[in-house]
Structure 1
C-alpha cells in the first residue's frame, strides 16, 4: 500500500480549514508580539530598560498558559471542537482591536493588555488544536498532520516576524499594525467556519471554574500517564523552555552582538523558523509515516551540538558607525556560521518536537486527550516562565553574556534528555532501530497493513541475521514482542534493545529447561493481553541463506493460544555484515536494499509446514 505525501492533507476539508485557522492565529500572535518588541527596542521613548521590558512581554504572553490551559482542556472535552474554535476566533477579533488601539494611542499598558489577551486566546486554543487531529486524521496521517501543523506554525512565526519588520519600518507603523492584526483575526474566524463538525469527547464533563485546583488536577493527570507519555510531556515542555530562550534573546542578540538593525532580527528569526519548518517536513519521510520516537534522541543531540556551536561562533563581530543592515551582515563570513547554527537548531528542533506531539496524541485516551494536552500546555507555560526567570537571573545577576546563556542551556539539554531517556529507554531503543534502518540498510515494506491494528497475533518469519528483530520492530507500527534464542538476546548493546522491547529469551529444552518453560509462559501472557508476538520458527540463524525447517515450538504456542498467524519474510539480508555468510565483510552490501513482506493471515491450526511454505513464497529468490 503506497503512502501518500503529507501535503495531500491540504486538499481535504477535514484538515485544510483547521490548518489555515491555526496558521493565521499563529501568524497574528507573532505580528503583534514582534511589533510590540520592535516598538520597545526601536520606536518608543521609555525610561525602563528595554531588555527588561522584552522579558516582561515574554512573561505576559506565557502566564495565561499557566492560568487558563486547564479551562481550555475542559472546554476541549465538553464542547464540539469546531464550535469552540469559532468562539475563540471571535474573541481574537476583540483582543486585536484592543491591541490596535494601544498602537494608535501609543499606550504601552493597552498593548500589554492585548498581549496578555492573546496569551489567553492561545491557552484556550492549544488543547483543541492538538486534540482535534487524532479525531480528524487516520493513524498513518497523524505524523504528517502534526508535521504540517508544526511547519505551518513556524512558517507563521516567520511570516509574522517578517510582516512585523515590514510594518514597523514605516513612519505610520501604528496604523498599519492595527489594521493588519484586526484583518488577520477576521480572516481566522472566516476560515474556522469551514471546519467540519467534531463531536465533543466528553459532553457530560462538569466544568470546574477554580483554575488553580483544576490546573493541579489536570497536571497530575498528564504526569500520571504511562511513562512514555508523561516523559514526552516533560520533553515537549523542555523544548519550549529552550525555544523561549532563543526566541526571546534573538532580538537583543542581533542588536548587541551583531550590531544589527530590525532587518537582522528578522533575518535570524527567519532562518530559525525555516529550520523548524524543514525539520518538521522531513519528519514524516524519516519516520516512514508512523510515530517514530527514535527521532527524538537524534533531535536532542542536534539541539545541544548547534547550541554549543552558536556560543563558539559568537563574539568579535565587526562594529560600524551605523547599525548593520541584513545585507551587510551577510557580507561577514562569521555571520554564515552563526546562521548555519541557527538553522541547525531549527531543523533538529523539528526532529525533536513532532514525534513527541504525535506520541502524546496517539497514546492517550480520546476522552482525556484534550486535558492531557492542556497539562502539557500548563507544563510548557511553567517551563517558559522559568526560562524568562532563568534568563533574567543569568544575564543580569550572574552577568553572563547571551552566547554564554546559549551554552548553559545547551549543556542543560544534555542532562534533561539523559534523564528522560533513562526513565523511558524506549526512546534509545527506537533510536538504535531507526539508525540501523537509515544507515546500514534501506528497508522496503510490503503488505504490512495485513498485521492487525489491535488484538493478539503471532508473526512468523525467516531468521537471516542478528538484527532481524530490529528491522521488523522498526517497520511494524505496533510494539512487537520477539521470541529469540537466548545467546543472541544476551549480545552486548543489542541486549539493551531487546530488554527494552520486552523480548522473550528462549533456549532448547535440552539446553536450559527453566528458560524454555519460562519463555512459553511469557509468550502466553503477551498473547492473552492482546499483543503481537514474533517468533523465528527455524530456531537459529540460517547458515546458507535458505529457510530451514520450522520447529514444533510454534505449534505448541498456537495450541495453547489460538491466535491469527501472520507470515513474514525478510529479503536481501544474506551476505550482509550481520548475517552468518562466510563471505560477508564490513563493507559488503553496506546501505543495501532489504525487504520485509507480510502475507495473508493463516488460521492457528495451519501447521508449521504450511507456515514455512508461505514464508518461502513471500521471500522468493531474494535471499
Structure 2
C-alpha cells in the first residue's frame, strides 16, 4: 500500500483534532471547577448535600444530549459539517461568557445554566465530530482516527479536570480564573475550526423538528443493524459505568480516602491516562482494522478492576490526605493500579465499538445513527446519575456502588455477547492469531470497504478460515467442506461466523444446491464470501487445480473476485504434512510466521479457474 502522511500532519484531520480537543478541555474545566466548588467549598447547595448536588449537576450536563440529539443528527446530515462546526464553536464563546459571569458572581444558578448549555453544545458537536471522520479519512485510517480522537478526548478530560481543579483551589480568586479560562479556550476552539475542510451532505434531509418522533426514527434506523445497535448499547453501558465513577471521584476522595482537591485531581489523572493509553493500545492491537475481539477482553477488565476498587478502599478515611501522604500510605499503589487498568480496559472497550458503528452503518444516515448513539449514551448517563443518587440515598457507600456496578457489568456483557456471537468469535480468532502465529499481511486495501466480493484462497490447513477472518476488516462468510465445518472445537467458530457448509453433488446434492443459494443471497446482501477453490486441504503443500464452483458463483451473481495466498502454514499442527492433521502438537513452535498476500480484484467477467490459480500461485511465491 502507498505510504500515507501521519494523520496529525494532515489538514483533513489535524484541525478537527485540535477543535474537538479544545472543546472537551473547556467542558471539563467548567464541569470540574463547578463540581469541586460544590464538593469542597459549598457545603449544602439549594438544600442538597455535596454528593447529591454533584449527581444533579452531572445529570444536568447530559440532559441536552437526551433531549436534542435527534435534531442534532438531522442537522449534521443536512448541511456542510465543517461550516456547522464553526457556528457551534462560536456559540461556545457565548456559553463561556455566561459561565464566567457565574464564577465572578458566585451564582450557582448561572453556573448550572452554563453547564446545561455546554452540554447542549456537546450534543450538537458530537454527531458532527464522529460523522465527519469517515468523509475525511480512508477506510484503513478509521480505527486510527477514532483512537486519536478518543485519546485526545480523555487527555482533554484529564487536563481540563486538572486545570479546573487547580484554578478553583486558588485562594480567593479561583472562580475568577476558572471563568477566564473557559472564555479563552472557547475562542481558541472557534479559531481552530476554520482549518477544517468542507464536508458536504451525502444526501437530502428533510428536518423533522419534533424531537420525540425523530428520536424514535433514529433509534429505529440504528436498531435495524443488530451489530451496530448492540455496539451502541455497549458504548452507552460504558458511559453508565464511567459516568458513575467520574462523578463520584470528588466524594470518594473526600469521604472514603479523606483526601483534598489535589488528591482528587491526581487520582482522576491516573484514571484518564489509563483510558487514553487503552485507546492507543486498541489502535495498535487492531493493526488498523476494526478489531471486535478486544471488546470481550476489555469487558472482563472493567468488571475485575471495578470490583477491585471496592476491596482496595480503606475501612476508614484519613484526615486531609494530600498526594504525598497518600503515596506513602499502605495500599496506595494498588488503588492507582486499579484506576489505571480500569481506564485501559475502557479505552480498549470503546474504540472498536465506535469504529464498528461508523464502518457498518449506512453513510447517508451516519450522523443520525451517531445521534441515536448519543441519545442512548445520555439516557444511560441520566440513568447512572439516578442509580447513584438512589443507591447513596438509601445508604450504599461509594465503594459498594463501584462493586455493584462491576457485577452489573458482567450481566450486561453476557447479554450482549449472547445476542451477537461475532464479538466472542472475534476474541477467539484474535487470541489464536496473536498467540499462536505472527501474521504478516499485505494488500489489505484490495478488500473493498463495503459491498459484495468473493474471496478465493489456497487451502493449506484447518485454520485457514480463522487466519483470513482475523486479517479481514469485514466479516467473511466462508464456504467450506461440510466435514471441516463439523470439526470438533472449530465448529463453534464456523457456526458463529455463519459459514456455509457444502458437499459434492455425489454426496449430498441438496446440500450443494442450498449452499449455492445461500452464497448468492449473501452476495446480493452486500457481504463478503470466502471460498477455497481447490475443494479441500492440500496433502502435498502445493496448489491443487481450482474447481469450477467459483465461476458458477460469479456467473449467477457477478461480483469482483479477490485472490489471496497463504504461506507458512504447511507443516503446522493444523496441516496434513506427513499424515493426518491435528495429531502432532509440536510440529511447529508458537509464534511462527504466516504470510498472507491479497491481490487486486479480478472482474467477474474475467474469472476463469485456471487463471485464478495462476494469480494465487504468483501471490504465494512473493518474497
TM-score by length of 2: 0.93
Q: Give the superposition deviation at 1:276.
A: 0.9
Q: SS where residue 368 of structure 1 aligns? A: helix
Relative distance call for 1:490 and 1:253 in structure 2 (3 A) is same
Q: Give the superposition deviation at 1:323.
A: 0.9
User: Contact 2:76/2:128 (CA < 8 Å) preserved in 1?
Assistant: yes
Q: Give the superposition deviation at 1:547.
A: 2.7
Q: Does 2:196 align with 1:198?
A: no
Q: Give the superposition deviation at 1:587.
A: 7.7
Q: Where do 1:490-505 residues align within 5 Å? A: 490-505=486-501
2:340 match: 343
* Partner Cα separation in structure 1 for residue 134 and residue 123 of structure 2: 20
Q: Where do 1:411-560 residues align within 5 Å? A: 411-558=407-554, 560=556
Report Cα offsets for 1:28-72 as digits up to 9, x if no partner. Answer: 111111011111122234363111111111111111111111221
Report Cα offsets for 1:174-212 as digits up to 9, x if no partner. Answer: 22111111111111111112212221344552341x333
* Partner Cα separation in structure 2 for residue 174 and residue 579 of structure 1: 69
More moved, 260-269 vs 75-84: 75-84
Q: SS where residue 460 of structure 1 aligns? A: strand
User: Contact 2:82/2:197 (CA < 8 Å) preserved in 1?
Assistant: yes
Q: Does 2:70 align with 1:74?
A: no
Q: Where do 1:202-281 residues align within 5 Å? A: 202-208=203-209, 210-223=210-223, 225-281=224-280
2:93 match: 93
Q: Does 2:382 align with 1:360?
A: no
User: Contact 1:219/1:375 (CA < 8 Å) preserved in 2?
Assistant: yes
Q: Give the superposition deviation at 1:530.
A: 4.7
Q: Does 2:305 align with 1:309?
A: no
1:44 match: 42
* Partner Cα separation in structure 1 for residue 32 and residue 376 of structure 2: 24
User: Contact 1:300/1:417 (CA < 8 Å) preserved in 2?
Assistant: yes
* Partner Cα separation in structure 2 for residue 494 and residue 375 of structure 1: 37
Report Cα offsets for 1:199-251 as digits up to 9, x if no partner. Answer: 1344552341x33333333333333x310111111111111101111101121
Q: Give the superposition deviation at 1:621.
A: 9.0
* Partner Cα separation in structure 2 for residue 561 and residue 114 of structure 1: 57
Q: SS where residue 480 of structure 2 aligns? A: strand
Q: Please, which runs of 5 or more residues in structure 2 have no aligned partner?
A: none
Relative distance call for 1:457 and 1:132 in structure 2 (3 A) is closer
User: Contact 2:75/2:207 (CA < 8 Å) preserved in 1?
Assistant: no
1:327 match: 324
1:179 match: 180
Equivalenced residues, count:
615
* Partner Cα separation in structure 1 for residue 182 and residue 490 of structure 2: 55
Relative distance call for 1:537 and 1:204 in structure 2 (3 A) is closer
Q: Give the superposition deviation at 1:551.
A: 3.6
1:129 match: 129
* Partner Cα separation in structure 2 for residue 235 and residue 460 of structure 1: 34
User: Contact 1:575/1:584 (CA < 8 Å) preserved in 2?
Assistant: no
Relative distance call for 1:573 and 1:53 in structure 2 (3 A) is same
* Partner Cα separation in structure 2 for residue 198 and residue 382 of structure 1: 29
* Partner Cα separation in structure 1 for residue 188 and residue 455 of structure 2: 51
* Partner Cα separation in structure 2 for residue 254 and residue 304 of structure 1: 21
Relative distance call for 1:251 and 1:613 in structure 2 (3 A) is same
* Partner Cα separation in structure 2 for residue 586 and residue 449 of structure 1: 35
Q: SS where residue 439 of structure 1 aligns? A: helix
Q: Does 2:148 align with 1:148?
A: yes
Q: Give the superposition deviation at 1:564.
A: 4.1
Q: Does 2:155 align with 1:158?
A: no
Q: Give the superposition deviation at 1:2.
A: 6.1
More moved, 451-460 vs 277-286: 451-460
Q: Give the superposition deviation at 1:98.
A: 1.3
* Partner Cα separation in structure 1 for residue 113 and residue 333 of structure 2: 38
* Partner Cα separation in structure 1 for residue 70 and residue 448 of structure 2: 36
Q: Give the superposition deviation at 1:521.
A: 2.8
Relative distance call for 1:514 and 1:335 in structure 2 (3 A) is same
Q: Give the superposition deviation at 1:475.
A: 1.4
* Partner Cα separation in structure 1 for residue 84 and residue 278 of structure 2: 31
Q: Give the superposition deviation at 1:289.
A: 0.9
Report Cα offsets for 1:550-586 as digits up to 9, x if no partner. Answer: 3444454455555544332111112222223358425
* Partner Cα separation in structure 2 for residue 77 and residue 440 of structure 1: 44
Q: SS where residue 544 of structure 2 aligns? A: coil
Q: Give the superposition deviation at 1:599.
A: 3.0
More moved, 259-268 vs 324-333: 324-333
Q: Please, which runs of 5 or more residues in structure 1 have no aligned partner?
A: none
Q: Give the superposition deviation at 1:528.
A: 4.4
TM-score by length of 1: 0.93
Q: Give the superposition deviation at 1:281.
A: 1.1
Q: SS where residue 512 of structure 1 aligns? A: helix
